[in-house]
Amino acid sequence: MQPMDPSQALAGKHLVLGLSGGIACYKAAELCRALVKAGATVQVLMTDAAAQFITPVTMQALSGRPVYTSQWDAREGNNMAHINLSRQAGAIVVAPASADFMAKLLHGGADELLSLMCLARPIDKVPLILAPAMNREMYGHPATQRNLTQLRSDGAHVLGVGAGEQACGEVGDGRMLEPEELLEELQAFFTPKRLAGERVLVTAGPTYEAIDPVRGITNLSSGKMGFAIAQAAWRAGAEVTLVAGPVSLATPRGVRRIDVRSAEQMWQAVQPCAEQASVFVATAAVADWRPVSAADQKIKKTEGGAAPALSFTENTDILASLARSERARSGQLYCVGFAAESQDLLAHAQAKRERKGVPLLVGNIGPQTFGLDDNALLLVDAHGCEELPRAPKLQLACRLIERIAQDLRKTSS
């Protein structure tokens, strides 16, 4: 049964978190805490090697459950922890998964509780998710790479690794992903892939139209709604490209990002991407007008002088242009528009949807959401409207992605 909040795919899940030996065990503590906060229950298993890096007491305090470390644990009535614990799990997550532990899994080794449980799990019911962590030379070794390939072939879900400075002092690939990255990967793993096979293009944030080297025209859009939509689309299985105006937000995991500044730059970036996309979500607050020309030097104020006269020219209407394209008219590109209004939301949203020629228009009251982490949306199509009450932007983004997926299924049937 799906959780009420589509952005919280881990709510109600029971996960086994396995720790093998490695300095990255310290990240597993933060991951455990994050999983519990996301609504999951977590049963921790640790190898003897893992206990050299972090104590079972720490993991018990964070998970709220006794930690298992031995296949001979007498707490299980039948003394079969490797059977009982795996049958209760929605997934087994091994983080960190050391090179040695993965080599053991590959060959069916089972000489301690964690590997024994991984081998004994019902493969078709209990996914195995591995978060590798090791030195860069170990990670790049042909034996390790062969093992990773075979583990994937055997059905394990092997996550990527991070790059950077390692505990040994060397720099390169092999670091375990950060806890927030692992959490996002797990949220995505349990999210239904309603947009699998789709290519989604999202624009987000404001544009900046220069007047001179230090001044310009922009707006208060933070980009948070568009970034949340890109994140939700990736979770739902889409290949996502995000064209972002000048904002200081982290790139959502799994998303390809293109940074632009002006409306014209956004249009130039969007056009080639739209040729490959099947969905376009125009969340960006694009400036309608720009100065005809920007001064090369700062326009100086003169004592008693008049304000400088500015001449404007209209920017390309990105949404309307793509909605009128051959790909959109033939049904190959599904376009979604956004309207940030200050009043009369329904009337303005309906008018804009018809004017732009898009099947779905999403309206919101700009001053009530700019810069905030929550929003309220109004979805308007040819048949009427649907209100999405105020909620975190990621939750609303997941609801919007579900709606887009429904519309795509209707048009393809």
Position 322, amino acid? L
Among candidate residues 118, 168, 273, 385, the one labeled active-site is 168
Q: Output the six-digit token pair for 35.
A: 């999983």
The label of the residue with tokens 């980009």 reads 223
Q: In the chain, where does the domain assigned CATH 3.40.50.10300 lie?
A: 199-296+311-412
pTM confidence score:
0.91
Q: In 3D, which of 15, 9, 6, 8 has the Cα closest to residue 41?
A: 15
Q: Output the six-digit token pair for 47.
A: 């190898």
3-state secondary structure of 258: strand
Residue 66 is classified by DSSP as P
Average per-residue pLDDT for the chain: 94
- Give the CA radius of gyration of the chain: 25
Q: In the chain, where does the domain assigned CATH 3.40.50.1950 lie?
A: 14-189
* 182-196 pLDDT per residue, tens: 999 999 999 999 999
pLDDT over 90 (residue 75): no
Give the H/E segment covering residue 115.
helix 113-120
pLDDT over 50 (residue 3): no
Select 199-296+311-412's CATH number: 3.40.50.150, 3.40.50.9100, 3.40.50.10300, 3.50.30.10. 3.40.50.10300
Comparing 69-73, 305-309, 383-387, the range with the smallest average pLDDT is 305-309
Superfamily of domain 14-189: Flavin prenyltransferase-like (3.40.50.1950)
Q: What's the pLDDT score for residue 301?
A: 84
* 32-47 pLDDT per residue, tens: 999 999 999 999 999 9
Residue 389 and residue 6: Cα distance in Å, rounded?
14
Q: In 3D, which of 96, 73, 93 has the Cα closest to residue 83?
A: 73
Binning pLDDT at 50, 70 and 90, where does residue 73 land?
Answer: confident
Our answer to whether residue 168 is catalytic in this structure is: yes
Q: What's the pLDDT score for residue 168?
A: 86
3-state secondary structure of 214: coil
Q: What's the pLDDT score for residue 144?
A: 96
Q: In 3D, which of 64, 57, 56 has the Cα closest to residue 35?
A: 64
* 133-169 pLDDT per residue, tens: 999 999 999 999 999 999 999 999 999 999 998 888 8
Report the DSSP pairing between strands 171-175 and 162-165.
antiparallel
